[in-house]
Amino acid sequence: MYKPIKQDLLILKRTAEPEVARELAEFLLSPASQQIVEKQGYIQASKADQKTANQ
């Protein structure tokens, strides 16, 4: 009924713990996490979104 709201994920360059931030991003984009997202009625992140997040 409504236009989907696109959620973005990014890691700031000035983060105090860049490795922890990358690990969290990888966890959120993992297949297991994405299955939970889908079970809750949301659309999984696309492969293109995952590539952008890992750059």
Number of domains in the chain: 1
Domain annotation covers residue 36: yes
Higher pLDDT, 4 or 34: 34
| Cα–Cα separations (whole angstroms), residue 8 to 1, 16, 41 | 22, 20, 18
Whether residue 1 lies inside any domain: the answer is no
Query: Residue 9 domain-assigned?
Result: no
Q: What integer pLDDT is reported at residue 53 of this predicted model?
A: 56
Residue 4 is assigned to a structural domain of this protein? no
State the residue range of the domain holding 48.
Answer: 18-53
Q: What are phi and psi of 40, to 5 degrees?
A: -85, 0
pLDDT per residue over 5-43, tens digit each?
A: 788 899 999 999 999 999 999 999 999 999 999 899 888
Nearest alpha-carbon partner for 33 in 19, 8, 24, 47: 24
Query: Residue 55 — very low, low, confident or very high, per pLDDT cuts 50/70/90?
Result: low
CB burial readout 26-37, b (16+ within 10 A) else e: eeebeeeebeee
Establish if 6 belongs to a structural domain: no
| 29 in any annotated domain | yes
pLDDT at 48: 41
